[in-house]
Structure 1
Amino acid sequence: MSTQYDVDIPFSANHNQQAFKLLELPPEVLALLESDKPPAFDPVLLITITSSPATATTPGYAILCSGDKKYQMRQKNTSNPIMILQPSSTFPTEADDAASFIPVPSITAIAKIEDTIELIVQEAEAKAPPKVNKWHEKFAKSRLEKKG
Structure 2
Amino acid sequence: MASQDPGIPLTHAPDGRGYKLMELPPELEALLAADDAPVITLKSTDTNALLKTPDKTYKLLQKNTSNSLILLTPHSSAPSAEDIPTSGLAAIATIHETIELVAQTEPQPISNLKNTGSKGKWHEKFGRGR
More helix by share: 1
Aligned residue identity for 2:104: Q
Render the CA deviation track for 1:83-131: whole Å, top value 9, x for unaligned.
Answer: 1100111235xx7xxx952011111001111111111111113234558
Match status 1:125 vs 2:107: yes
Percent same amino acid at aligned positions? 39
Structure 1 runs (4+) deviating above 6 angstroms are none
Q: Structure 2 matches for 1:74-89, cutoff 5 A?
A: 74-89=61-76
Q: Which structure 2 residues correspond to residues 13-92 of structure 1 after superposition, within 5 A?
A: 13-39=12-38, 46-52=39-45, 54=46, 60-91=47-78
CA contact (8 A) 2:14 2:91 kept: no
Paired residues, what number? 123
Question: Can you give the 5+ residue segments of structure 2 that lack an aligned partner in the other structure?
Answer: none
Under a length normalisation based on structure 2, what TM-score does the superposition of the two structures give? 0.76
Deviation at 1:38, TM superposition (A): 2.3
Consecutive unaligned residues in structure 1, runs of 5 or more: 40-45, 55-59
Q: Taking structure 1 as the reference length, what is the TM-score of the superposition?
A: 0.68
